[in-house]
Amino acid sequence: MWVDKDRIRGSRMEIGTRYFGLSFILLFVIASAAPLIEGVKSGNEGDLMVIVFTIGEPTIVEEEGRTLVLMEGWGTSSIPDAPVLPERTFYIPEDPGDPFEVVAHRTDRMVEVRTAFPVARVPYPGAYGRIFHPDAAGEADMVTDLGRIEVNGNIYRMLRLSPFIWDEGKLLYPSSMEVELRLSSGMSGRVKVPSDLPDPTVEENAPSSPLWMPSDDDGIPDPMPSASYLDSTPPTECLIITSSALNSSLAPLAEWKTQRGLYTRIVETTWIYSNFQGVDNQEKIRNCIKAFYANESLKWVILGGDHSVVPARLAYVPDGYGDSGSDGSYAPADAYYGDISGSGATPYDWDGDNDGYYGEYSVDGVDLSLEVYVGRLSATSSSAMTSLVNNMINYEKSPPSGGWFNRSVLAGAYSNYRTSTSTNNTTDEARLKEAIRTDFLSSGNYATYTLYEGSGIWPSTYTSNASLTTSNLISAIDTGAFMVNLAGHGSSTGIYRRIWSSDSNSNGICDNGEYYDTSYYTTSASQNNGGKKPLFYNDACNNGDFDRTWCLTEDIARDVGIGAVGAARVSWYAVGWTKGTDGGWYNQGHDYRFWEQFFKGAYQPGKALALSHSDYISDKGTNTYSWKNLLQYNLIGDPEIPVWNQTPMNFNVTHADPIPTPGNYQFTVKDASGNPVQGAVVCLYNSTRFWGRSVTDAQGKASINLPEMTMNALLTVTKRNFDPYVESVTIGADTEKPQIGTPSVSCTTTGDPFLVNVTVTDDLEVRNVTILYGRGQTHPVTGTNVSMNDTGSHFIFNGTHPSNSTDTFWFRISARDGKGNWNTTDWYSQEIVDNDPPVFMTDDSTLQATTGDLFTFACNITDNIGVDMAWVNMSYDGVDWYRFALCGVAGQRHGSTMIPRNMTGTLRYRFEFNDTSGNPAQSSQFSRDVLDNDAPILIEDLTVLPPRTGNTTEFHIRAMDNIGIFRAKLVYNEEGQSVRNYTLTSTDQENFTFELDIPSDRLSNVSFRYFIMDTSGNFMNTPWTETAIIDDDLPVILSSALPDGFTTGDGFTMSVHARDNMGVYTVEVELKYPGGSSEILPGTFDPGMNRWYINGSAPASLTGNVSFTIHVTDASGNMYISPEYTRELTDNDAPSLAADSSDTESESGASVMFSVRVEDNIAVESVMLESPVLGLLNLSRSSRSESMFTLVTDVPEDFAGPLSYHFVIADSSGNSLVTENVMMNVTDAILPSAEVIGFIEEGSY
C-alpha cells in the first residue's frame, strides 16, 4: 500500500490515503497479483469474477479511555454514534457497455482482538449551540456498492469495504474477504493496468490522482497548453455569468484575466435563458456551463451577482433542525454549477429521482466531484460590482507593500463546554486552529497570529497571541494577512464566542443559564486594512446566508477580504472534535481540509473548496449532517484568483524588439536574482486580433507560435507570488509611413478656440504627430511646432485664434510611427473672420436700489475692435421689460432711472451692446433688490383724551407708507406702572386702532407714543403725548335701607351701602316736603358696618308726600344721585287740649257752656263732648279763634249730681284725643211738682 507521508504528524503516525491513488493501486493488484483473484467462472447468466482482499492486521491505539483502530491507507466509518472503524473504497474499472453487479461476499475466519477501552465512536454533530444526539445508528454492511464515478473519461465502480465489527469489548475482522461480481461477458481487457503507469510499490513514483492535485507547492498552476489565435476566438476557460446591468462592471475583470492568459468570456443571463433548455433558470445556467465545458476549455465559473441576479440552486437538505422554521430545509449550493457530470444518475441533473428536490442526500446520485470551480461575486448594483472588481484587480496587480503576505490570523471560540462529568466533551475551536497552525503554518516562513478565548471560568488551555475580542481581532485583520480563519457559532451577520461565566451549582458542568454568547466579528465592524486583503474561511453557522439577506461573507468580500467561504444555514460541528488521522469530522473537518488543500497547492479558493469537499467524502463518506455541510459552504469571491502567501517577487523578462514573425518565438523569464522561473504564464494579447499563451519550463523558457503579422500587443507574465509583468511590445517589422488624412479646423473666427482634427493610421503604431502653424498673408518659413494629442481614434490640436487679428491661419502636419517612419503634409490655409462680440467686463451700477431714489446703471465693455451702442434692458420682477440707451464713450456707459416710490421687489437688468462690426452681445442678468428706505408717516392722531377710569379709550391714528405698514404699536407709559406695548390693528392700512381698558381704581399721569414700522423694516416713533387718567366713574349704591314713610315730628334713619372706584367722599339725602320746603341731611360713615347713616326728623306740621334722593359723591367730585324716592308724611300726632274753660257747675235744667281751646300740629277737625248724661254733642269752632270750640246746652231737669264728661278731639289726619273725665257738679234747683197720671190697682204691682 502507498503511504502518504504528508499525513504523518504528531507523536504517532496517523495514516490515511485518498481514493485517487487507490483506484490505480487496485488495478495493478488485480492485474498482477494472482493470489488476489481466485478465477473467472462461467455460468448461464454470464461470467463471475471473485476478488480476494487481504485485510491485514490493524494498528490498535488506546488513549484517553478509548480505542482507535487504524489501518494504513484506510478511512473510517461516518455514521453518527457508530464505532470509528476502518473502511476503504476501491475503484473497479467498468465498461459502460458491459456492467457488472455485486453478487455476494464471503469471509474466512474472524480474528478477535480484546481491548481495554471501548472503540471510539463517530462524534455527534453540533449545530449553532445545540448538541445533536441522533437515534442509535446501525453499522455499515461489510461490502457496499456506491455506484459509478467518471475520472478522466474512465468509468469506475466504487465498492466500500467495512470488514471490522465491534462487539462488546472485542474487535472482530476477517483476515481476508472474497467479493463475487457477475459480469455480462468475459472480463478480458477490462482490468489491465495501462502500460505507462509507474510501479506503485515504489512510494516516490506513486501515480498522480485522476483528479489532479499537487502534493507539494511548486507554484505551477493547472497545466495550461500553449496556444495562439489570430483573428479568431480562443476557447473559453473562465466564464462570467451576470446580468446586462452588471456586464460593463465585470468587463475589466474579464479583460485582465484574458490579458494574463486565462481566456475569459462574459455571458448574460437573458442570453442563457433564451438559448438553453431547462426546467428553471438554474438548470438553464447549468446547461450553458455544461455546453462550454463540453465544447471549449472551461475550468472556472464566476457567478456575477447575488441570488437575485444569478439564482442559486437551493438544495434540499433537511436535517431535523428547524426544517419548518427559520433554518428551513433548503440551502443555496453553488457547487450545483460546478458538478456538471457524474454517473450517479441519468441524466446527471442533481434530481435523480425527478421529484423536484435537488441534491437530496443518498437519493439524487450527486457525487459532488466538481468539473469546474465556482465562486460568486455578490452584488446587485454596478457601483458595488465595480468596487469588487477593482479590489480583485488591484489585489493581483498592485498589492500594498508590507509584511502581510505571509501572515495569517486564526481565531477560535468555544462551541460548547463540557456537559458531563464523566467525559470532557468540550469543543474548543482553538484545537482546530492549532492543528491548522501546526500542520500548515509552522514552517515556510509564515507569521501566525492566534486569538483564543480568555474570558469566563474556563478560558482556552491553548496559548494565543491575544484574547479573542472584537477589538483584538479587528486590529489583527487591519494589520494585514493573507488568510483569516474564524470558528465559533454564527448568524447571518456575525460570528460568536460562547463564554462560561459561572458554575452556579458547582457541578462542574456548563448548564443552561451559566453561559452567554457574544459576537466577536460582525457586519458592523469598522475597519480598514488598506487593501491588505486576506482570504477568509468562516467555520460557523449562517455566515454565508447570501440568498436570504446581506450576510457576513458578502460584507467581508466587499470591505476587507479578497473572498470568504461560509455556510448558508445551520452548520454541523463535531462535539469534542479531534483531528484524527485525516482531519476529523463535520465543519471542523471541512475547515481543516480546505487549508490542507490550499497549502498542498490549491491556492485558488474555488479549487481549494472543491477539493476539500472531495477529500472529506473520500475520508469520511457522508451522512445527513455532513451532506448539508458540504452543499451549503459557498465561496463569495473569485474562485480563480491566486492568493498571495509570500512577499511578491519580480520578473526579469527578455525578448526581441520588435518580436519577429512568423514562427515560434521564445521568451525567457527569470526572477530578480537571475534564476529561471518555471510555471510562469506568458501571454501576448492584442484586444482585437491576437491572443497567445505559453507556460515557462524549468529553464524559464516559453514559446508562442506567431503567424505573419505586424501589430502592437501587451506582453503579460504572471505567476502566483510574483508581481505581474506587463509591457507594450511590437510584433513584426515595419517600413510603412503613417497615413495622414485630410485635416479639419473646427472654428475660423477671431478670439475663439479651434480644434485641428486629423486621422493618422499606421500598420503598427503611430508614435508621434506634430503640427507646424503660423499666421500671415503667406505660409510661414518658421512657426510653432507642437505635438498633437492622441484621442485613440484621431489626433487633435487645440488652440485659440487671436481676437484682434484676421490674418490667415497656416499649418501642416507631420507623423512618425514607432519605427521612425515619417510623413508630412502640404500647407493648409484657413481664412479668419471677426465674430468676436464685445466683452462685458464689469457692472458698475449703483450697489443699492431704494424706493423713490435715483438708480444709475453703469458698465464697462471692451471689444477687440470697438464698442458701438449700449443699452440697458430692465424690469421689475421680470415683468414689462423696457430698455433705454446708455451714454458714454468707448466702453464706459451709464444711464439713470428713478426707482418708483411705491415699488419693492427685484430690479432685474442686463446690458446689451454691439461692436462696430455689428457683433451683438449682452451681459448676464443682474439684479438689485429694491429696498424701501422711507419710514412711515403719521397723518393724525384721532385719540380722544383724556383717558377715563373704567372706560375704554380707543387709541386711533391715521398713518401711511409708500409700500405698506407692517406694524403699528402703542407705547403706553402709566405713572407707577411698567411701560407696555400694544399692537394696533387696521383693516385699511391707514386707520390703526387699539382699545385700551382704563383701570377704574387709580388716577395717574400717562404718556404715550406710537411706533410705526413698514414692511421693509423702516420705522418712526411719534413724540410722547402727556395726559392723565381722570375719574368720571360715578359712585354706585350697592344697597340702602330706607323708611317706608315719615310721621310728623318723628325722627328717621336711612342707611346706604355705597362704593366708588376712588372712594366715597360724602353721602347726603335731599328731602322735599309738601309745600316746597326741603332739606339736605348729611350721612355719617360707620366703618364697622361699612355703611353710611343719615338721621333726621320729619316736620311736625306737614303731611303729604315727601320726595327724596340720595347723593353719593366720590373723591373726584363725581356725584351719583339716586332715583327719586317718595314716601308719605303722615300725621300721627293727636290733638291736645290746651285749655278747658267750661262751666264747672250747673243746675238741673239750666244751660251750661262748654268751652275749650284745642291745638293740633295740622288742624283740629272736630271737638265732641261725650257724657253719659248729655250724650255726644259737637262743639262749634269759634269764629274768633280756630282753636276755640264751644257748646251751650241744657242740663236735664231731671238730673242733679256730678255730671261726668270728657272731650273727644279729632284732627284732620284722623288722630283723636279723649280727655280725661271731668266732673261737673249739677244741683237741683227745680221745685218738685206732682201730676196724677194714673192708679195702680192693688195686687198688680
pLDDT tens sequence across 353-375: 999 999 999 889 999 999 999 99
Q: Confidence class of residue 131 from pLDDT cuts 50, 70 and 90? A: very low
Cβ contact 930:963 at 8 Å? no
Q: Give the pLDDT of residue 783.
A: 80
Q: Give the pLDDT of residue 107.
A: 78
pLDDT digits (tens, 9 = 90+) for 258-313: 999 999 999 999 999 999 999 999 999 999 999 999 999 999 999 999 999 999 99
Asked whether the CA dihedral 1171, 1172, 1173, 1174 is positive or negative, the reply is: positive
Residue 694 has pLDDT above 50, yes or no: yes
Q: Confidence class of residue 167 from pLDDT cuts 50, 70 and 90? A: confident
Topology of domain 1036-1130 in CATH is Immunoglobulin-like (2.60.40)
Q: Confidence class of residue 180 from pLDDT cuts 50, 70 and 90? A: confident
433 or 776, higher pLDDT: 433
Residue 190 has pLDDT above 70, yes or no: no
1118 or 140, higher pLDDT: 1118
CA distance 566 to 331: 12
Residue 192 has pLDDT above 90, yes or no: no
Angle at 671 between CA 665 and CA 677, to 5 degrees: 55
Q: Give the pLDDT of residue 480.
A: 96
Q: Give the pLDDT of residue 229.
A: 86
1107 or 138, higher pLDDT: 1107
Strand partners, 731: 659, 711
Please state which of the four CATH numbers 1.10.8.60, 3.90.78.10, 3.40.50.300, 3.40.50.1460 is assigned to the domain occupying 399-637. 3.40.50.1460
Q: Give the pLDDT of residue 1240.
A: 63
For residue 289, the Cα-to-chain-centroid distance in whole angstroms is 39
Residue 61 has pLDDT above 90, yes or no: no
Q: Confidence class of residue 881 from pLDDT cuts 50, 70 and 90? A: confident
The residue-averaged pLDDT of 1197-1201 equals: 90
Q: Confidence class of residue 853 from pLDDT cuts 50, 70 and 90? A: confident
pLDDT digits (tens, 9 = 90+) for 1132-1148: 999 999 999 999 999 99
CA distance 69 to 314: 38
Q: Where in the chain is the domain with CATH 2.60.40.10?
A: 651-731, 840-931, 937-1025, 1036-1130
pLDDT digits (tens, 9 = 90+) for 964-981: 899 999 999 999 899 999
Cβ contact 275:290 at 8 Å? no
The CATH-assigned architecture of domain 233-373 is 3-Layer(aba) Sandwich (3.40)
CA distance 183 to 262: 45
The residue-averaged pLDDT of 461-489 equals: 96
The CATH-assigned architecture of domain 840-931 is Sandwich (2.60)
Q: Give the pLDDT of residue 411.
A: 98
Q: Confidence class of residue 43 from pLDDT cuts 50, 70 and 90? A: very low
Whole-number average pLDDT of the chain: 85
The residue-averaged pLDDT of 317-332 equals: 92
Q: Where in the chain is the domain with CATH 3.40.50.1460?
A: 399-637
Q: Confidence class of residue 194 from pLDDT cuts 50, 70 and 90? A: very low
Q: Give the pLDDT of residue 225.
A: 78
pLDDT digits (tens, 9 = 90+) for 828-847: 999 888 888 889 999 999 88
Cβ neighbors of 679 (< 8 A, separation 6 or more) are: 218, 219, 220, 221, 695, 696, 719
CA atoms within 13 A on the CB side of 967: 13
The residue-averaged pLDDT of 152-162 equals: 73
750 or 983, higher pLDDT: 983
Asked whether the CA dihedral 620, 625, 631, 636 is positive or negative, the reply is: negative
Q: Confidence class of residue 883 from pLDDT cuts 50, 70 and 90? A: confident
Does the global pTM surpass 0.75? no
Residue 41 has pLDDT above 70, yes or no: no
Topology of domain 739-830 in CATH is Immunoglobulin-like (2.60.40)
Residue 185 has pLDDT above 70, yes or no: no
Residue 211 has pLDDT above 80, yes or no: no
Q: Give the pLDDT of residue 87.
A: 79
Give which of 1064, 1059, 1100 is closest to 1082, Cα–Cα.
1064
CA distance 893 to 883: 14
pLDDT digits (tens, 9 = 90+) for 610-646: 999 999 999 999 899 999 999 999 999 999 999 999 9
Q: Where in the chain is the domain with CATH 2.60.40.1930?
A: 739-830
Helix, strand, coil percentages (3-state) for the chain, rounded to 5, are 10, 40, 45
Q: Give the pLDDT of residue 64.
A: 58
- Strand-pair category, 905-915 with 920-922: antiparallel
Q: Indicate the class that CATH gives domain 651-731.
A: mainly beta
Q: Confidence class of residue 565 from pLDDT cuts 50, 70 and 90? A: very high
Asked whether the CA dihedral 44, 45, 46, 51 is positive or negative, the reply is: negative
Topology of domain 1136-1227 in CATH is Immunoglobulin-like (2.60.40)
The H or E element spanning position 729 is: strand 725-731
Residue 864 has pLDDT above 70, yes or no: yes
From its phi and psi, is residue 390 left (phi > 0), alpha (psi between -120 and 50) or beta?
alpha
What SS3 string covers 1207-1239? EEEEECCCCEEECCCEEEEEECCCCCCCCCCCC
Give the whole-number percent of the chain exceeding pLDDT 70: 88
Cβ neighbors of 1013 (< 8 A, separation 6 or more) are: 936, 965, 966, 967, 968, 1019
pLDDT digits (tens, 9 = 90+) for 243-253: 999 999 999 99
Q: Confidence class of residue 27 from pLDDT cuts 50, 70 and 90? A: very low
Instruction: Kindly list the distances between the CA atom of residue 394 and the CA atoms of 260, 305, 400, 587, 723, in Å, as whole numbers in the listed order.
Output: 14, 20, 9, 32, 11
CA distance 924 to 223: 70
The residue-averaged pLDDT of 508-534 equals: 91
Q: Give the pLDDT of residue 153.
A: 63
Residue 933 has pLDDT above 80, yes or no: yes
User: DSSP code of 233?
Assistant: P
Q: Give the pLDDT of residue 1016.
A: 86
Q: Give the pLDDT of residue 1245.
A: 42
Cell of 365: 446520485
Cβ contact 382:245 at 8 Å? yes
- Span 937-1025: which CATH code? 2.60.40.10
pLDDT digits (tens, 9 = 90+) for 640-688: 999 999 999 999 999 988 898 888 999 999 999 999 999 999 999 998 8
Residue 216 has pLDDT above 90, yes or no: no
Q: Give the pLDDT of residue 78.
A: 57
Q: Give the pLDDT of residue 205.
A: 26
Topology of domain 5-205 in CATH is Immunoglobulin-like (2.60.40)
Q: Where in the chain is the domain with CATH 3.40.50.10390?
A: 233-373
Q: Confidence class of residue 81 from pLDDT cuts 50, 70 and 90? A: low
